[in-house]
Amino acid sequence: MQAEQKLPERRSRKARRTRDALAGAAFELVLDRGLREVTVEEIAERADVDRRTFSRYFASKEDAVLDSVRGDGDRINDALRARPADEPPLTAYHRAVQDWLADPGTPAWHRRPRIYELLVLAEREPTLYAAFHHIRVDAQADSVAIVAERLGTDPLTDLRPAVTVAAGAGALLAAQAAWVRGDRPDELPRLVERAFGALSGELFTRPPAPAPHSTTSTTEGNGTP
């Protein structure tokens, strides 16, 4: 019986190794040469498997390239589940993102080699950006379910969980967009704090009234008395 139980475990480990080899090959090839210059066949060959094996694990080369960031949404959601039950939902989401950024066990994007390059590339390549968007959407759906559970409510009838996640994930997305366009890979945590700070502070205050328009300098410059 023990041998029979170990067989599925060995198969699972082998499948995980194959998937990781394909994802790693896609990641390195695409970042070295560009998305459009790499074929699925080349990825499979680099991982020492055939084209059919690739298709068992990934629907496209974009999916394979992004496998290295697929688990980050899960890590944020795991941190969200672990937040104290008495925290307000948006505060809990913010602190879950902070926990993910500071996790010493599994580094976040700004502390993992070449993830910055990958997300810069995703900004330029529409098919890669679309695949990354699907990953985010899936993670956010899980976040909504977690927030709904924290609130003891049904997300189909109560909008608060979806609004909370839309706001928090939007702040993270804004920080990410500024990060990949800023050419400073270590800046992500600071940008996240700025984004959540804007969300919880200045956007809820009345904007200052515009200064009254003055024509003094114009008329003086024209020589008008």
Q: How many CB atoms lie within 10 A of CB 129?
A: 14
The single-letter DSSP state of residue 59 is S
| pLDDT, tens only, 160-179 | 999 999 999 999 999 999 99
- Rounded to the nearest angstrom, the gap between the alpha carbon of residue 72 and the centroid of all alpha carbons in its chain is 7
pLDDT per residue as tens, the chain (225 positions): 455 556 677 778 899 999 999 999 999 999 999 999 999 999 999 999 999 999 999 999 999 999 999 999 999 999 999 999 999 999 999 999 999 999 999 999 999 999 999 999 999 999 999 999 999 999 999 999 999 999 999 999 999 999 999 999 999 999 999 999 998 999 999 999 999 999 876 666 666 666 565 444 444 444 444
For the chain, the maximum distance between any two Cα atoms, rounded to a whole number of angstroms, is 103
pTM summary value:
0.82
Residue 32 to residue 124: CA distance in whole angstroms: 15
Phi-psi domain of 50 (left: phi exceeds 0; alpha: psi -120 through 50; beta: other): beta
Q: Which residue has the tokens 């114009």?
A: 218
Residue 179 to residue 184: CA distance in whole angstroms: 7
Per DSSP, the chain holds a count of helices (H) and strands (E) of 11, 0
- Rounded to the nearest angstrom, the gap between the alpha carbon of residue 212 and the centroid of all alpha carbons in its chain is 43
Query: To the nearest whole number, what is the mean pLDDT of the chain?
Result: 89
Residue 174 to residue 192: CA distance in whole angstroms: 8
- And the tokens for 64? 């394979």
